[in-house]
Structure 1
């Protein structure tokens, strides 16, 4: 583990010590909203879908319904990934950028920057930042602690870095 990874994980600690992002489980008939990205983003998301791991934090891949190149899942209840989502409003809020919003934190894990949002129900959602497509990850309720969230984001980092170039995503 390198020193920048230690700093990155330290930024995640406040968000990950709390129960994180609830979502609809995959593999048991539940559905997940499928994003509708523009053509350029759709291509990046298809590349990401092909690069995603078969196992994530010990959970086997079990994509949610409806099956799509823009969604993926692992475990049950599922860790859900959606690619091509719209930019979260808090991502451009200057209060967030200055660390003034306790419900949204910025941090990085293994070379991928994330916005970590505390949702109204107390769960957390993670969305990539500084990439040409927005990728959202939600962890099921009950999956909490620094180790759980950090392991998931660390497991996804190589795929995100391979498929989604650094840059600015479309303004939608």
Structure 2
């Protein structure tokens, strides 16, 4: 696998974009984001991660999600969405191009122009989508990577 390392310095962040997984806006101001249902160690890790997520991301306030889920968070409009405990990404293969942000390995999909990122190599897969309106996307991943590193235990070396 090839890996890139992103650092906080804006000049070192490649121009990658993320698309939102948000399906629709409801009339009550909540955003619709598919819920996840992790089990076992993944659920425990997500329950540790979620309460520590920031109230703002890219200066966007956290918004309500529908259906209500302890494993999903969203910010702003257009919506930035995070889902903890998603299934292993279908695109994760031995030859996948991965990159590292603050010690967290991320898979960007699609590979040629990533629009959705999933933290891999942890007890729970953490997926985040960031609309093109928020640039560079890596700034959001920096803040989230620190929390994932702190709250979601790493798998043994070599496991993704």
TM-score range, shorter chain: 0.7 to 0.9
Structure with greater helix share of residues = 1
Deviations for 1:116-172, whole angstroms, at most 9, x for unmatched residues?
1128xx7611000111110000112x3254x2x11110111221112101116xx9x
Residue of structure 2 equivalent to 1:135: 126
Among 99, 102, 109, the alignment partner of 1:110 is 102
Aligned-pair CA distance for 1:11: 8.2
Distance 2:54 2:105 in 1: 19
Residue of structure 1 equivalent to 2:47: 46
Aligned-pair CA distance for 1:94: 2.8
Please, what is the CA RMSD of the aligned residues? Answer: 2.9
Among 18, 21, 33, the alignment partner of 1:20 is 18
Pair 1:9–1:85, CA change in 2 (3 A):
farther
* 1:31 has 2:32 as partner: yes
Q: Give the TM-score normalised by structure 2.
A: 0.79
* 1:69 has 2:57 as partner: no
Pair 1:40–1:8, CA change in 2 (3 A):
farther
Q: Give the TM-score normalised by structure 1.
A: 0.74
Deviations for 1:58-117, whole angstroms, at most 9, x for unmatched residues?
1111131112111001111210000010001221x2332xxxxxxxx3101112110011
Aligned-pair CA distance for 1:20: 2.2
Kept in 2, the 8 Å contact 1:80–1:137? The answer is yes
In the comparison of the two structures, how many residue pairs are matched? Answer: 150
Distance 2:130 2:89 in 1: 17
Unpaired segments ≥5 residues, structure 2: none
Kept in 1, the 8 Å contact 2:31–2:66? The answer is yes
Residue of structure 2 equivalent to 1:94: 94
Kept in 2, the 8 Å contact 1:48–1:160? The answer is yes
Distance 1:43 1:53 in 2: 19
